Structure 1
């Protein structure tokens, strides 16, 4: 069968992009032809995948997204495509991979009434309604159990059009047998001694990930913890506002920015704590990547995967409503805690008994079954 995938932009370090590629390649591995519609592709192109670059136009992101939707519909109308799988909300999808939270919930709870009058709100609401409304036929693959009741609250989406998937953590994130050697080599490379601490924040979109909160927590550390602790930020985004914040808090020398990288497992093994104080987060894949590497986690409870950290007893979760003072205290206490090694072992034990890996396979199975049903 010919399976079409729609993704607005592809770059190699985004969580959504990694999920898309793993699902597409899993479908390809099962013998199906993969065609991708996107507006840009950065990085290596997988062998045998037909990538169609669509040059979109528009004065704003939502207008470009609308043009993308219209171009895809024209493209597949003239092609023998068995199924269209979207990784962004739009009309005409057979299957939607729900990596994003509910737009309407976020817009209505965090914006003023005037926002509902904007063309941006109206267009993104229309995209979401086209996927989740009762008149739609789109099947949604959800990766966060927290979002199912939210979408159903606004759109009354029937249960039979929502499939909950397990996480899909790549096995290369799991702690290897030689993890001690990898950790020692990493820490030598970056100049860390045994009694120094490394806090790690991973992810593009620094504002959403709560980097400002992490910098404030770093600056609030008590001595001598503060003098022996650094924060590494791995991801792609504008650094300037956060460098300015670190300067104001006299913590600039404690924060190091690194661009998106393909050796994240080394950082997970070399660090002492993953901090992820996100403002909102559908899942937070990096929480589980840290967990399977045996790295204790400190996150906010708005992350869809935060419950795994609590179930595993592999770190701490800041409850809502968010308190910076709570984050500051937990950061300081965790770095000093005798439980660091316990959290590490709890994480590894949990990663061995819980299915945190099969999302691409299960998503591919649903996609192929849906395509086969239509084909027959």
Structure 2
């Protein structure tokens, strides 16, 4: 089986969804299909340069604006995979004629809604809503997704969580339910041996000046605002008196730190919020931490949450995260309603720091690694590819290749 995975940008440094695409491609290749990643580049690059036995085809795109470059990619990518006659076209960026559409970032309509909800107060929400309407690239992708899913011969949709499935049902009520499947997200992570984790924990906590008694709260993201860092800093400040010794927050990721350092100082916790920047091996930080706090405003199915659970680290997150669906309360962590609910966030962190919760989460890590593996995710998608090849009818018509 020859499979093309189409995503405009594929760069592990950009964030979780793109890392997941690379891991998925490698796992699919291990199962037998010949996998080609189709992605964009400002300048054409030699084809066949891939990772893990996966080929890549870089589509040269040109244009003065993001809209022009995205439009150019959609047109040229479609021309490439049609000319190559792939058995399966798996689109992550929406594109015409695909067999499987996997909106790893959720539907574009939900992305806009959550972005607007992030604004503080009705006036700023109105301003943000108008700004989104003026975003021509996003409007183009909204239209492309709408045309794809509203067509009389739509692709299968592989939602990475039930949260995304509900988005599709809400935004496309006429979409045939038999073509909408939840293929829950997966990750590839080896947490290290018990001895390695112990060494990592001791070494990193010593480097940070922390003894074993001091709780370490970990935050990992590349978009600090969207993932709730400001709310988390306020929660660290609000809950300082409830925990002795008070927790330290370690912020990991690539984003502007100065505004959040100032906020921490204003809240009186400047000495207890440390910024670490991006890391190559996140496993060491999972070993050093006592809880992962991910109070996100929007996440279709967060990689970092799944990774933490696979490493036995309890998690605090919100209902706006598809990964929350696998969290059993007080076994794997706590799910709160909103990042803005600071008292609930404080309470959730405190619950996750309890010894019984940490022990239960660590004991279940092996089962979670099996349940949340990228290998399992890839096998489920391969089953869906085979179903798509059989041409299961939708709306009374065979599926168009």
Q: Assess same fold via TM > 0.5.
A: yes
Task: Show the counterpart of 1:213.
Answer: 231
Matched, 1:145 2:170: no
- Aligned partners of 2:186 and 2:306 also within 8 Å: no
Task: Give 1:271 deviation, angstroms.
Answer: 0.3
Judged with a 3 Å threshold, the aligned counterparts in structure 2 of structure 1 residues 166 and 76 are, in CA distance, closer, same or farther, namely closer
Instruction: Report Cα offsets for 1:314-337 as digits up to 9, x if no partner.
Output: 222222484123323443x347x5
Unaligned runs of 5+ in 2: 43-48, 117-124, 392-398
- In 2: Cα distance, 1:320 partner to 1:145 partner: 18
Structure 1 position 29 matched with structure 2 position 47: no
Residues 130/348 of structure 1: CA separation in 2 closer, same or farther (3 Å cut): farther
Hey, what does 2:394 align to over in structure 1? Answer: none
Distance 1:228 1:214 in 2: 14
TM-score (norm 2): 0.81
Asked whether the equivalents of residues 317 and 334 of structure 2 are also in contact (C-alpha less than 8 Å), the reply is yes
What is aligned with 1:268?
286
Contact 1:3–1:35 (8 Å) recurs in 2: yes
User: Quick one: structure 1 residues 325 and 344, their matched pair in 2 at CA, closer, same or farther if it must change by over 3 Å?
Assistant: closer
Q: In structure 2, what is the Cα distance between the partners aligned to 1:345 and 1:224?
A: 21
- Cα offset, 1:60, TM superposition: 4.1
Q: How does 1:135-214 map to 2 (within 5 A)?
A: 135-155=152-172, 156-173=174-191, 176-178=193-195, 179-214=197-232
After superposing the two structures, state which structure 1 stretch, 288-297 or 177-186, moved more: 177-186
TM-score by length of 1: 0.85
Which secondary structure does the structure 2 equivalent of 1:269 belong to? helix
Cα gap change, 1:9/1:317 in structure 2, threshold over 3 Å: closer, same or farther? same
Counterpart of 2:12 in structure 1 is 12
Q: Distance in 1 between matches of 2:178 and 2:206?
A: 53
Asked if 1:370 corresponds to 2:371, the answer is: no
SS at match of 2:60: coil
Tell me how far 1:293 sits from its aligned partner: 1.8
Contact 1:85 1:97 in 2 (8 A): yes
Residue 53 (1) aligns with residue 55 (2): no
Q: Match for residue 289 of structure 1? A: 307
Quick one: distance in 2 between partners of 1:191 and 1:116?
A: 44
SS across alignment from 1:16: helix
Please report the RMSD computed on the Cα atoms of aligned residues, expressed in angstroms. 3.1
Shift of 1:311: 5.0
SS of alignment partner, residue 275 of structure 1: strand
CA contact (8 A) 1:184 1:270 kept: yes
Bigger mean CA offset, 141-150 vs 100-109: 100-109
C-alpha distance 238-195 of structure 1, shift in aligned 2 (>3 A): same
Q: Determine if the alignment matches structure 1 residue 249 to structure 2 residue 263.
A: no
Counterpart of 1:309 (choices 327, 338, 356) is 327
| Alignment correspondent of 2:76 | 71
Q: Deviations over 1:30-60 (max 9, x none)?
A: 333222221259xx94154332222323454
In structure 1, C-alpha distance between the alignment counterparts of 2:32 and 2:99, rounded to whole Å: 20
Residues 342 and 126 from structure 1, CA distance in 2 versus in 1: closer, same or farther, beyond 3 angstroms? same
What count of residue pairs does the alignment treat as equivalent? Answer: 369
Deviates more, 1:210-219 or 1:24-33: 24-33
Structure 1: runs of 5+ lacking an equivalent: none
**Cα pair 1:235 1:258 within 8 Å, conserved:** yes
Q: CA deviation at 1:353?
A: 4.5
SS at match of 1:71: helix
2:304 counterpart SS class: helix
User: How far off is 1:256 after superposition?
Assistant: 2.4
Q: What secondary structure sits across from 1:188 in the alignment?
A: helix
